Amino acid sequence: MSCNGCTANIDTDRPQMLGTFDWLSDLPDTTHLSKMVEVRFKSTRKEFFMNEDGIPLKRDDLVVVASSPGHDVGYVSLTGRLAELQFKRKVKNPNRYTLLKIYRKASAGDVEKWEASKKREKEVMIRARQLATELGLNMKIGDVEFRGDGVKAIFYYIADERVDFRELIKRYASEFRIKVEMKQIGVRQEAGRVGGFGSCGRELCCSTWRTDFSSITSEMALKQGLSPSAEKMAGRCGKLKCCLMYELDHYLEAQEDFPNELLDLETDKGIARHFKTDILQKKIWYVYADQPAAGSFVLDLEDVKKIINKNKRGEKPSVQNMGAPVVAKEPTMQVGSVNDEIIRRNEKQKLKTKRNKRKFKPREPQKK
């Protein structure tokens, strides 16, 4: 961990994803251009410091940094020009951000004291939850993070409404003999701190390599033709999966080639109605409106464009040589039927709400 008396450089607090490429491994050293350093602490918490003494640092070095009060221990994540660019991107008000200094590389004594503080986190978290329950506070203590010197701890909590925890802080300070800092987080941040495995079988992105949480909407899933099922789109945190945005740009780029209208085709056998689309393979499924028993057939995007152009000229071409009957299993990606499914569920929910209102409608008092 790049400290005196240590030979290993292993960060067990934040495991790395298998099979991922480190894009920063071969970048040139830019520490001579900027003294700013980004330091990572437990889970996804990162802060910026100044290397005023010119200590030779590289990524994953364990360092001792100034804190308020005392000091803290963390891993170097970015140095030089990259750290300065990250500071400008993340910090909205640089004038209000206090850049503390880096004291030194962590020694064996610093690491020993830091490890002893981390061992207290689990038992303190359990007791902290008990104290919050005794006071009847509507909140959940999600995680506890001790500073490297063991003098101060951050209590991360989740609450749906404003909580008055002044009495709780007094109880924490008197029982644990530490300085207390309360920090509110959301369910997505909690999942990143706790960790786990996703439906893909790999560790959660938020607990391994993601450090920011972009806004995810259901529209992203619909544009990719994914199932509208809430269970399939939700992650461990109960919110929409972050991976819904990973391939979105590819789908949006592929959709630019698709026509925006006239997807129903006029053929020599009648009207062919569109009901499925494979965006990446650029194939569209159709079925005859008057002959649903005849089965469906698939057309390439280029063939669909040709038929649309002929329809505009008043022609009704044959698709016998263009399309192929669907024999194999149909693709799971559905675009045309997604909106219909959502509309059907919304109408069903509205009808259920109306029935409940009628059922619980208070009776008028009888006149004497």
Whole-number average pLDDT of the chain: 81
> Pairing between strand 100-105 and 46-50?
parallel
Q: Is the pLDDT of residue 2 over 50?
A: no
Range scoring the smallest mean pLDDT among 176-180, 342-346, 357-361: 357-361
Give the model's confidence band at 255: pLDDT under 50 very low, under 70 low, under 90 confident, else very high.
confident
Cβ atoms 184, 169 nearer than 8 A: no
Strands (E), the chain: 36-40, 46-50, 62-66, 71-79, 100-105, 140-146, 152-158, 179-184, 265-267, 270-278, 283-288, 296-300, 324-325
Q: Is the pLDDT of residue 333 over 60?
A: no
Range with the largest mean pLDDT of 16-20, 86-90, 256-260 = 86-90
Q: Is the pLDDT of residue 132 over 80?
A: yes
Give the model's confidence band at 367: pLDDT under 50 very low, under 70 low, under 90 confident, else very high.
low
The torsion defined by the Cα of 294, 300, 302 and 306, in degrees rounded to 10, comes to: -10
Q: Is the pLDDT of residue 227 over 80?
A: no
Q: How many whole angstroms separate alpha carbon 273 and alpha carbon 266?
A: 9
Q: 131: phi > 0 → left, psi -120 to 50 → alpha, else beta; which? A: alpha
DSSP 8-state assignment for residue 206: G
Instruction: Give the sign of the dihedral formed by CA 100, CA 106, CA 112, CA 118.
Output: positive
Per domain, the residue ranges of the chain are 36-106, 120-188, 214-252, 257-357
Whole-number pLDDT of residue 336 = 45
Q: Is the pLDDT of residue 69 over 50?
A: yes
Q: Is the pLDDT of residue 308 over 70?
A: yes
Whole-number pLDDT of residue 335 = 41
Which has the higher per-residue pLDDT, 123 or 324?
A: 123
Q: How many whole angstroms separate alpha carbon 319 and alpha carbon 327?
A: 17
Which has the higher per-residue pLDDT, 101 or 44?
A: 101
Distance of CA 292 to the CA centre of its chain: 42
The CATH class, in words, for 120-188 is: alpha beta
Q: How many whole angstroms separate alpha carbon 50 and alpha carbon 38?
A: 9
| Angle, helix 108-119 to helix 121-134, in steps of 10 degrees | 30
Nearest to 180 by CA among 195, 199, 167: 167
On the CB side of 178, how many CA atoms lie within 13 Å of its CA?
Answer: 24
Q: How many whole angstroms separate alpha carbon 43 and alpha carbon 156?
A: 12
Whole-number pLDDT of residue 115 = 93
Longest dimension (CA), the chain: 93
Give the model's confidence band at 352: pLDDT under 50 very low, under 70 low, under 90 confident, else very high.
low
Residues 6+ apart with CB under 8 A from 165: 132, 137, 139, 157, 182
Q: How far is CA 271 from CA 303, 306, 321, in A?
A: 16, 16, 17
Which has the higher per-residue pLDDT, 156 or 11?
A: 156
Whole-number pLDDT of residue 358 = 57
Range scoring the smallest mean pLDDT among 52-61, 68-77, 346-355: 346-355
Cβ atoms 105, 75 nearer than 8 A: no
